[in-house]
Amino acid sequence: MSAVRVAPVMPDYAEARATFSWRRERSRLAGLPGGGVNTGYEAVDRHLREGHGERVALRCVARDGSVRTVTYTRLAQDSSRFAHVLESLGIGRGERVFTLLGRCHELYAAVLGTLRAGRVLCPLFAAFGPEPVALRMGLGDARVLVTTRELYEHKVARARGGRLRASGTADPSLTVTNLGDQGVETVFGVVHPPQVALVGLGRIVERPVAVRGLLGVRPVLTATLSADHRAADGATGARPLTSLDRFLQRPEEL
């Protein structure tokens, strides 16, 4: 497959940054025919109105090297169809639409359709595990999830059933490293699947610390957590670190 070469949108970043103007950028927006601004319209529909419907809007390159091109006309049709689907489902303006998809044409059709319909888009990383997916959808009060059958069965159905396959982790799943004994102050761990997390404990150093309004020098230890987002996320990982902090402050509870 020959390389596809196109002119860069921003050939000189330093110059673009030095001369940037919000007023000038705002003047480049087409705006809705009836007034106002809509991201979906600016990204797709205005190109049709300007006679560029047959230009390539997306160029999707598959793992095997095959290329699929999508014109602005096709993208406008698909995003409009998705917007009508949201209307037919009774999803109101401002309600949340989540996507759990890889980088495919359907993802952009759903994203642009959601934006042009005035709904709130909440994209999910396709590598998230069941727990991070369920947590974000719960916190975001999800009304719609757009995904594939395979991702649904592996990520969503398992979260709804409250189960995580043992094959997705290794024994031990959590590694604790005490490189602080070697003089390392802060540990930035790298997780090697199928393990899911690594806790790093740095060396104890003396630092100025304010406690109850009084400044003093106290021993401080830095603990870090690296985790595979397919199995856990920051909110879950913060819990053991919070417990560790409490026990270090109150060793009598150990």
pLDDT tens per residue across span 39-68: 888 999 999 989 999 999 998 888 888 889
Report the alpha-carbon distance of residue 63 to residue 152 in Å, rounded. 22
Mean pLDDT of 198-223: 87
Structure tokens at 20: 């940037």
Report the alpha-carbon distance of residue 53 to residue 76 in Å, rounded. 9
**Among 28-32, 133-137, 219-223, 232-236, where is mean pLDDT lowest?**
232-236
User: What domains can be seen in the chain, in order of their start residue?
Assistant: 24-161 (3.40.50.980), 174-248 (no CATH)
Cβ(165)–Cβ(203) below 8 Å:
no
pLDDT tens per residue across span 80-125: 999 999 999 999 999 999 999 988 889 999 999 999 999 999 999 8
Report the alpha-carbon distance of residue 179 to residue 185 in Å, rounded. 8
- Choose between 95 and 197: higher pLDDT: 95
pLDDT at 169: 46
SS3 (DSSP) at 220: strand
> Which residue type does 230 have?
R
- Cis check for the bond before 194: say yes or no (omega within 30 of 0): yes
Report the alpha-carbon distance of residue 92 to residue 117 in Å, rounded. 9
Cβ(116)–Cβ(77) below 8 Å:
no
Say what the pTM is.
0.61
